[in-house]
Amino acid sequence: MPKLVLAIGGNSLIPDKEHQSVQDQYAATDETSDHIAGLIEQGWDVAVSHGNGPQVGFILRRSELASNELHEIPLDYAGADTQGAIGYMLQQNMYNDFAARGIDKSVATVVTQVEVDPDDPAFKVPSKPIGSFMDEEEAFKRRDEEGWDIKEDAGRGWRRVVASPQPMRIIELDVIKGLLAAGVVTVAVGGGGIPVVTNEDGKLEGIAAVIDKDLASALLAIQVEADVLLISTAVEQVALNFGTPEEEWIDQMTLAEVKGYLEEGTHFAEGSMAPKMRAVVQFLEGGGKEALITNPVNLERAMAGETGTRIVQ
């Protein structure tokens, strides 16, 4: 059967600020899960990755509020926690959807470590904000006592920032491949994977960093030899000149066109579409056949060629 890697954004599990509870996230996961079941009915073997930015933020905030009574949670552990929790929601919802549709499939979540290079240039310029806002006194105290990198955020307060290094190696790759080969729907590299490095003793250890979820998904798609990388985001299609009078929704682009638009630097915002397009480039240059970008409710229609933005060699 053809293989598909589906990358779900962490924000897609939280529709808006009024729907952030675990129950709200479960309901949003239920909707996405139903569309995943539809993809499986179309004949795809599916690996699912997901973002976790908001969920990690919630865990870190709870940890900060409880720090007078309990130890605080390191960033890599927060990533592992979210992999388990979001994987649980996906597993349960897909189990129920499969039962309702008569699909004979199992689902498993792999808590996934992703190795990064400790000498990655990103560690010299940490830029990814995590955790809650702090006043200046608290921020500098954390910097001095715990070695945090801190940054003032547009007059709103101070935040911790960490590096976003390139993913190099998926530690549990053989496990993921084995599950997919057995026909198991596999949830993996959640949140881009738990960042780890190899220390001087040759042992893995966690590191405070955030790996881009879409880049990790592209790496996964290349290494499991997926036919398609499908990135689920907030919009049905990719647009050029987004949000301007010249806005143009795109049905299909070539790899060369995407690289050209990225070089121009005006069409894809760094906080939203640019990382996704770079992941698409990585996947296609790594041997992938095609990539698709659309929103959760249109996953099946996009795969059927009815909507979404398709990027081809």
Average pLDDT over residues 271-286: 93
What is the pLDDT at residue 79? Answer: 96
- 279 contacts 222 by C-beta, under 8 angstroms: no
Catalytic option among 3, 105, 128, 259: 128
At residue 145, the pLDDT reads: 86
Each domain of the chain, given as residue ranges in start order, spans 3-312
Active-site pick, 79, 131, 191, 276: 276
The answer to whether residues 111 and 83 touch, using CB atoms and an 8 Å cutoff, is yes
**pLDDT-based confidence at 22, cuts 50/70/90?**
confident
Closest by alpha carbon to 290, among 1, 82, 2, 68? Answer: 2
User: What is the per-residue pLDDT across 250-277, written as a single tens digit (0 to 9) for each?
Assistant: 999 999 999 999 998 888 888 789 999 9
Element spanning 178, H or E:
helix 173-181
Is 276 marked active-site? yes
Is residue 213 flagged as an active site residue?
Answer: yes
Which of 11, 105, 177, 206 is an active site residue? 11
Taking 90 as the threshold, does the pLDDT of residue 153 lie above it?
Answer: no
pLDDT score recorded for residue 123: 94
Q: What is the pLDDT of residues 40-59, one digit of tens each?
A: 999 999 999 999 988 998 99
The domain defined by 3-312 carries CATH number 3.40.50.720? no
Band (115; pLDDT cuts 50, 70, 90): very high
Rounded CA separation 11/19 (Å): 11
Q: What is the pLDDT of residue 245?
A: 86
Q: Is the dihedral of CA 86, 172, 127, 75 positive or negative?
A: positive
Q: What are 195-216's pLDDT values in tens digits?
A: 999 999 999 999 999 999 999 9
User: Which of 10, 53, 87, 308 is labelled catalytic?
Assistant: 10
